Amino acid sequence: MSGDKTYCVALFDSVSHVMKAEKLLKEADIPYKIIPVPRSISADCGVCVRFLPEQKETVMEALRLHIHVREIREL
Amino acid sequence: MSELVNAKGCACPEPVILTKKALDAHDEVTVLVDDAVALENVKRLASVSGCTFEVTEDMGGVFRIDIKKGQTARGACDTSPEPPHPEGAPQAAAGPTVFVISSNVMGQGNDDLGALLMKAFIHTAVDLEHRPDMMIFYNTGVLLAANDSGTVDDLKALEEKGVRILLCGTCINFFELGGKTGAGTVSNMYDIAGALSTAGRIVKP
């Protein structure tokens, strides 16, 4: 939200994958936020998962075995 | 002599109704409530009616609100909502833009999808070029203001940008969210109906 903070976003192949990711991150108690895919990225799927860069490994670990993460981008 | 209104144990919106009735007939009213939401609602009624008030907390969680009609109230404390436009108002559609969030999901059909969409909508609202003047949350909409909602930080950001956020007090009570919300003002049906009836534009996602 505030422009001076950096975040990572995880992009997925479908909305149902985003929902599944949300569930997994919630269960793992990892802070995240559902946001619309930034216009600058503009992918097919309209929503993505935002998290702090330092959580990148933890996030990947929580998701890896369950869903295919299409891409992680830094904002 | 101050008129005494004992609204202890009364459910929303009873304390406000009783206070409003008393203010219509008396210049000084003392209200007793035992609930934080009722306290806020009575305080708000007093301030929007141009009255001055003082709150004291007694033992056992009882709040005493001493309300006095202000000098500006011209003899009578005007507790009726102000008409949106005085006579000869130039623009018929003028008035605040209000976003009504009546559910924690956006659209009907699949609620998991709807919840996701609503989160994205609230987040997007923060950076909208034309932000609303007010957002009203009722029914499951109030869940979005809960501390663990994932949207509460966006609502805080909206408030910081000057958007008034009203949460339905009855709904907060129903979902047992008292003290568990992190943004917005707990409000009542008077404020909500008043805001809806004077809005220039109502947006319901």
Chain A contact for B128, CB < 8 A? no
Q: Which of B62, B42, B63, B66 is nearest to B52 (CA)?
A: B66
Chain A contact for B20, CB < 8 A? no
- Asked if residue B83 belongs to a domain, the reply is no
Q: Are residues B27 and B59 in the same domain?
A: yes
Q: Are residues B115 and B194 in the same domain?
A: yes
- Asked if residue B82 belongs to a domain, the reply is no
> If you count DSSP H runs as helices and E runs as strands, how many of each does chain A have, helices first?
2, 4
Interface list for B 89-108 with A (CB within 8 A): none
CA distances from B98 to B101, B123, B131, B180 (A): 10, 16, 9, 24
Q: Which of A72, A66, A29 is nearest to B150 (CA)?
A: A29
Number of domains present in the structure of chain B: 2
Contact A34 B123 (CB under 8 A): yes
Domain extents for chain A?
8-74
Task: Provide the pLDDT for residue B85.
Answer: 43
Minimum-distance CB partner of A1 among B112, B113, B157: B157
Task: Provide the pLDDT for residue A36.
Answer: 87
Distance CA(A75)–CA(A53), nearest Å, equals 10
pLDDT digits (tens, 9 = 90+) for A44-68: 558 999 999 999 999 999 998 999 9
Q: Nearest-CA distance from B202 to chain A in Å?
A: 23
Q: Which of B100, B162, B98 is nearest to B126 (CA)?
A: B162
Minimal Cα distance from B158: which residue of A?
A: A1
Task: Provide the pLDDT for residue B94.
Answer: 81
List of chain A residues whose C-beta atoms are within 8 Å of the C-beta of residue B126: 1
Q: Nearest-CA distance from A46 to chain B in Å?
A: 9
- Asked if residue B63 belongs to a domain, the reply is yes
- Asked if residue B147 belongs to a domain, the reply is yes
CATH code, domain with B47: 3.30.110.40
Chain B contact for A18, CB < 8 A? yes
CATH code, domain with B105: 3.40.1260.10
pLDDT digits (tens, 9 = 90+) for A1-25: 445 679 999 999 888 899 999 999 9
Its domain, for residue B56, covers 3-73
List of chain A residues whose C-beta atoms are within 8 Å of the C-beta of residue B122: none
The interface predicted TM-score (ipTM) is 0.74
The residue ranges of chain B whose pLDDT is under 50 are 74-92
pLDDT digits (tens, 9 = 90+) for B139-193: 999 999 999 999 999 999 999 999 999 999 999 999 999 999 999 999 988 889 9
Minimal Cα distance from A35: which residue of B?
A: B120
| B106, B113, B122, B151: best to mutate for the A interface, most A CBs within 10 A | B113
Q: Are residues B50 and B139 in the same domain?
A: no
The CATH code of the domain at A8-74 is: 3.30.70
Alpha carbons within 13 A on the beta-carbon side of B94: 9
